[in-house]
A and B are shown apart, each in its own frame.
Chain A
Amino acid sequence: MMGRALSNVAMPVMKGCSGITILSGSEVRRGEESACIKCAKCVEACPMGLEPYLLAKISKRKGWEAAEQNDIVSCIECGCCQFTCPANIPLLDYVRLGKQSVMGIIRSRNAKK
Chain B
Amino acid sequence: MANRFFVAPAPHLHGEMSTVRLMADVIIALLPALVISVKVFGWDVLAVTAVSVVSCVALEAFVQHFIVRGKSTVGNLSAALTGLLLAMNLPSNIPLWIVVVGAVFAICVAKMPFGGLGKNPFNPALAARVFLLIAYPQQMTSFVAPSVEGAADAASGATPLAALKAGMLSACDADYGAMFTGATAGSLGEVSALALLLGFAYLLMRRVISWHIPVSILATMAIFATIYAGVRFEDSMMHLYLPAFHLLSGGAMLGAIYMATDYVTSPMTKKGMLIYGVGIGVLTMCIRLWGAYPEGMSFAILIMNSVTPLLNKYVKPRRFGSR
Residues of A within 8 A of B (CB): 1-5, 7-9, 23, 27-31, 34-41, 43-44, 46-51, 53-54, 70-71, 74, 77-80, 82-88, 92-93, 96
Contacts and interface: CB of A to CB of B under 8 A. Distances in A.
Interface stretch (B4-12, B172-180, B237-245, B251-259): B4-12
B117 A35 contact: yes
Contact of B12 (A23, A31, A48, A84): A23
A36 B268 CA distance: 12
B264 interface: yes
Given A7-B7, A74-B321, 13 more contacts: A1-B12, A3-B10, A5-B10, A28-B12, A28-B13, A39-B263, A47-B320, A49-B317, A49-B318, A53-B268, A83-B13, A83-B15, A88-B18
Given A51-B316, A93-B9, A88 B2 contact: no
Interface residues of B, number: 41
Nearest to A53: B268
Interface in B87-129: 115-119
A107 to B, nearest CB: 21
B263 A40 contact: yes
Given A27-B13, A86-B17, A86-B18, A48 B263 contact: no
B194 interface: no
A96 B321 CA distance: 21
Interface of B: 1-2, 5-15, 17-19, 21-22, 76, 78, 115-119, 210, 263-270, 316-322
Contacts of B14: 29-31, 82-83, 88
Contacts of B119: 35
19 contacts: A1-B10, A5-B10, A8-B2, A28-B13, A30-B14, A35-B119, A37-B19, A37-B22, A37-B118, A38-B263, A40-B263, A44-B210, A49-B318, A49-B320, A49-B322, A51-B316, A51-B317, A86-B19, A92-B9
